[in-house]
Amino acid sequence: MTESLLSSRISSSVSSVSKTEREELLAVAEEIPDLIKLGRGDPDRDTPEHITKAGIEALENGYTHYTHWAGMKELREEIAKKLKRDNELEYDPDGEIVVSTGVQESMYVLFQSLLDEGDEVLMADPHYTSYDAVVEFAGGELTLIPTSEEDDFALQPDAIRENLSPKTKVLVVVTPNNPTGAVIPPDTLEEIADIAKEEDLLVVSDEIYEKIIYEDYEHVSMASFPDMYERTIVLNGFSKAYSMTGWRIGYMAAPADFIEKTERLKHTLTISTNHASQAAALAALKGGDECIEETVDVYRERRDYLMDALDEMGLTYGYPAGAMYIFANIQPTGRNAFEFCKDLLTDAKVQIFPGTTYGNGEGYVRISLLAPTDQLKIAADRMAEVVKGYVG
Ligand code: PLP
C-alpha cells in the first residue's frame, strides 16, 4: 500500500511511535473466540449501581454542559475532603485540585508543565508505560530504575540514588504498582521522600491503586511527609477503585500557583471533564468505601487462587500486595515473555501480557485479576497445561 500524503508528512514526535508487542497480541486476540482476557487493566466488574444511577440522573437533569475548567466545585470539595480523610492532606478545593479526563490527562498536563528539553524523570521499572509517552512528548528523558523479584519489585531508595544525574528533575512514585503489584512500605516511602528533599527532586505520586491493597498496611501519600506538599503532585482517580475506566475521570492536586499555570493546557485539551462523569464521581466519593471493599475481597480471592496455581506450576512471582496484577516469572519454561504470551493466546485461549510491554520485564508476564472468578480459574488450569508442556 502506498503511503498517504498525510502519513508521509507526520511530525517527528509522532513518527517515532511504533507498533508494540502488546498491540500485536491484541490483534491476534481479536480473531480468537471464547478468549479469557487477563490482559488489560480494565476491571470486569460493573461500576457500582449508585454511581451509575447518579450518572444517568445527571444526564436527565441537564448535566450536559462544560463545567469550570478544573471541575465542578462540589466535586472538588468532595475530593478535598477525601484527601483529608484518607491521606491527611490539606488541599484547597478552589485552586489546588483539577478534575481531569482520567489520571492520564493529568499526567500529560503535568509533564508538559514541568519539563524542559532534556530534563530527566526517574521511575521504577517495570512500569506503566504511558509515562514513557508523556515524558517524551514533553521533551524529557525517562530513566528507569530497575527493581527485582527478590524485593517484590518495590522501589529501593539506594537504587534511586544510583540513578540520579544533574539533570534529574522529577521522581515518579507509583504505589501500589502496575504491572508488578508492588507496594512500597511506609518507612521506605519516607526514605524516598528524604531523598527527594536532599536532592531537590519534584515528586509525581500516582496513587490510583491506593484502595486496592491486600495487606494490613494503610496507603500513605508521598505528599503527606513533612515538607513534601510543596514538591509533590498527587494523582488519583476513579477508574480502578470504582471500576470506572470508561467514565474517564481522575484528578491531580498540587499547590495553587502551579495548578493555575496548568489551566491553559488543560483547557486546550478538553475544556473541562465530562459533566455527567463528574456527577458520578461525586456520588462515588459520597457513597463511602463499602463497594471498594467488596471489590478488593473479590480480587483478593482471585489473587490468592492464582498465587496457589502459580506455586503448583513451579512459577515464582513478586508478592502482589496491591493493585490488580501478578507479575510472574516464566523463565523455567524456556520461552521468552512474548513467545509465552503468544503460545498461551493461540494454544490455550488465555490473554496475558509480556513483561517486556512494561519496560525491562523479559522473563516475566503480567496476569491481571480482571476476569470473573470462574473464568480466571479455567485460565489458570489452561496455563498450567501450557507450562507443563515446557517444564514437564
Ligand atoms: N496510572 C497508572 C499506574 C495506571 O495503571 C493507569 C491505568 O492503567 C493510569 C494511571 C491511568 O488511569 P486513568 O484510567 O485514570 O486514566
Q: Check if 41 has its Cβ closer than 6 Å to any atom of ligand 1.
A: yes
Domains of the chain, with CATH numbers?
7-47+291-391 (3.90.1150.10), 49-286 (3.40.640.10)
Atom number of ligand 1 nearest to Cα 323 = 5
171 pLDDT tier (thresholds 50, 70, 90): very high
Pairwise pLDDT comparison (26 vs 287), residue with the higher score: 287
19-33, 45-59, 142-156, 289-303: segment of lowest average pLDDT = 19-33
Report pLDDT for 17: 61
Q: Check if 208 has its Cβ closer than 6 Å to any atom of ligand 1.
A: yes
Report pLDDT for 221: 98
Q: Is the pLDDT of residue 15 over 80?
A: no
| Cβ–Cβ < 8 Å for 319, 152 | yes
Query: Which whole number is the average pLDDT over 317-329?
Result: 98
pTM of the model: 0.97
- What Å distances lie between residue 117 and 122, 136, 139, 269, CA to CA? 15, 9, 5, 21
Q: Check if 206 has its Cβ closer than 6 Å to any atom of ligand 1.
A: yes
Query: Which whole number is the average pLDDT over 124-142?
Result: 97
Q: Is the pLDDT of residue 391 over 90?
A: no
Q: Check if 236 has its Cβ closer than 6 Å to any atom of ligand 1.
A: no
Which protein residue's CA is at the shortest distance from atom 12 of ligand 1? 103
Ligand 1 centroid–CA 209 distance in Å is: 9
Q: Is 68 exposed, middle or buried (0-12, 13-18, 19+ CB in 10 A)?
A: middle
Report pLDDT for 364: 98
Report pLDDT for 14: 78
Cell matching residue 121: 524523570
Cell matching residue 130: 504511558
- pLDDT tens for each residue of 262-282: 999 999 999 999 999 999 999
Which protein residue's CA is at the shortest distance from atom 8 of ligand 1? 41
Which protein residue's CA is at the shortest distance from atom 5 of ligand 1? 178
- pLDDT tens for each residue of 188-231: 999 999 999 999 999 999 999 999 999 887 899 999 999 999 99
Distance CA 85, CA 83 (A): 6
Q: Check if 245 has its Cβ closer than 6 Å to any atom of ligand 1.
A: yes
Ligand 1 centroid–CA 104 distance in Å is: 6
Cell matching residue 255: 499547590
Q: Check if 47 has its Cβ closer than 6 Å to any atom of ligand 1.
A: no
| Cβ–Cβ < 8 Å for 148, 154 | no
Ligand 1 centroid–CA 208 distance in Å is: 7
Ligand 1 centroid–CA 245 distance in Å is: 9
158 pLDDT tier (thresholds 50, 70, 90): very high
Q: Mutate which of 101, 127, 240 to test ligand 1's pocket (most atoms within 8 Å of Cβ)? A: 240
Query: Which whole number is the average pLDDT over 110-118?
Result: 97
Atom number of ligand 1 nearest to Cα 101 = 16
Q: Check if 129 has its Cβ closer than 6 Å to any atom of ligand 1.
A: no
254 pLDDT tier (thresholds 50, 70, 90): very high
- pLDDT tens for each residue of 361-384: 999 999 999 999 999 999 999 999
17-21, 27-31, 371-375: segment of lowest average pLDDT = 17-21
Rounded (to 5) percent helix, strand, coil in the chain: 45, 15, 40
| Cβ–Cβ < 8 Å for 173, 205 | yes
Ligand 1 centroid–CA 117 distance in Å is: 25
- pLDDT tens for each residue of 35-64: 999 998 999 999 999 999 999 999 999 999
Which protein residue's CA is at the shortest distance from atom 10 of ligand 1? 103
Q: Is the pLDDT of residue 70 over 90?
A: yes
Q: Check if 178 has its Cβ closer than 6 Å to any atom of ligand 1.
A: yes
